[in-house]
Amino acid sequence: MQRLSNADTENASVQLYVKRDDLIHPAVSGNKWRKLKYNLLDAQARGERAVLTFGGAYSNHLYATAAAGRALGLATIGIVRGLELEAKENPTLRFCREQGMELHFVSRAEYRQKDSVDYLAQLSERFGAPYIVPEGGTTRLALQGVAEMVSEIKEQLGAMPDFIATAAGTGGTAAGILSAGADVLAFSALKGGDFLADDIRQQLDGYTQSGTLSLLTDYHFGGYAKWNEELLDFMHDFAAEFDVRLEQVYTAKMFYGLFDLIKSGCFQRGTTIVAVHTGGLQGALSA
């Protein structure tokens, strides 16, 4: 946990920390490690030999699953969104292949069936009944892993912070933090992120003591994996000021939004915020 203090936090009397989950592991970084932990332990406990999961061309989840599978001796199969990617590989997919992941490219229409029971049954038959982890690794077991991070934060800080901030894609990380009873500031990395409120509520079905969600949907910079010069400048300045690297898909958008809220006086004086560095630095444009 690292304190981030500058003129903006001082003026607002906000105590801001960053939870450096980006430092957990070079390839299985941040929230992907948290979300995979109990899924993969479960796969091992059941004696599974292979794990199948889903992701897009730049998926940090596929990247992390490939590396973790290799480390644990589990075969991995990645269902990748976009038939065109078969011909034009990128560094994320190359890394996955190098870790031994079997990549299977599907059309966007087929990919959309990724949660349908029939489709999953077909995949299971085709790939020899692997252990299936949904897109983003977001399951009940993932929430359990993320909740552990909240326990660490509480212990390291000596108390629960007023807010825990996170970037949101599927909302699984936000849901995991909420499930541990913390109040969450979730910054959508996608355009039109309002759907996340319902998705997160569904993921929390059955949890009784969950915290309060504040969903911020205006810091998407044009949409998922979109960015502009202003965001890259922010990343650069942030690295220079705090010695913390960010990436342009998730974490820079969250910190940009968080500092914007701090500067506009949205928080009561004395508020304590812990922002989670969810990792993903292997996809960073140099800051």
Ligand X SMILES: *Cc1c(COP(=O)(O)O)cnc(C)c1O
Which position has the token pair 């979109």? Answer: 226
CA distance 245 to 266: 25
Cβ-based nearer residue to ligand X, 15 or 282 = 282
Of 111, 163, 251, 252, the residue at the interface with ligand X (CB under 6 A) is: 251
The CB density around residue 221, as the number of other CB atoms within 10 Å, is: 21
Would you count residue 193 as binding ligand X (CB under 6 A)?
no
CA distance 17 to 154: 12
Of 92, 139, 173, 203, the residue at the interface with ligand X (CB under 6 A) is: 173
Task: Report the site for ligand X in 45-64 (rule: CB under 6 A).
Answer: 60-61
Q: Is 59 a catalytic residue?
A: yes
Would you count residue 168 as binding ligand X (CB under 6 A)?
yes
Q: Which helix (H) or strand (E) holds 145?
A: helix 140-157
Which one of 59, 179, 188, 210 is the catalytic residue?
59
Of 55, 169, 211, 257, the residue at the interface with ligand X (CB under 6 A) is: 169
Cβ-based nearer residue to ligand X, 9 or 139 = 139
Of 167, 178, 274, 275, the residue at the interface with ligand X (CB under 6 A) is: 167
CB of 279 to ligand X, least distance (A): 5
CA-CA distances (angstroms) from residue 59 to 46, 63, 205? 26, 6, 26
Looking at the chain, which runs of residues are DSSP E strands?
2-4, 15-19, 50-55, 75-81, 102-106, 131-132, 163-168, 184-188, 213-216, 272-276
Of 136, 145, 211, 257, the residue at the interface with ligand X (CB under 6 A) is: 136
Provide the CB-side half-sphere exposure for 249 (13 A, CA): 15
Cβ-based nearer residue to ligand X, 130 or 145 = 145
Active-site amino acid positions: 59
Question: Rule CB under 6 A: which residues touch ligand X?
Answer: 30-32, 60-61, 136, 138, 167-173, 250-251, 278-280
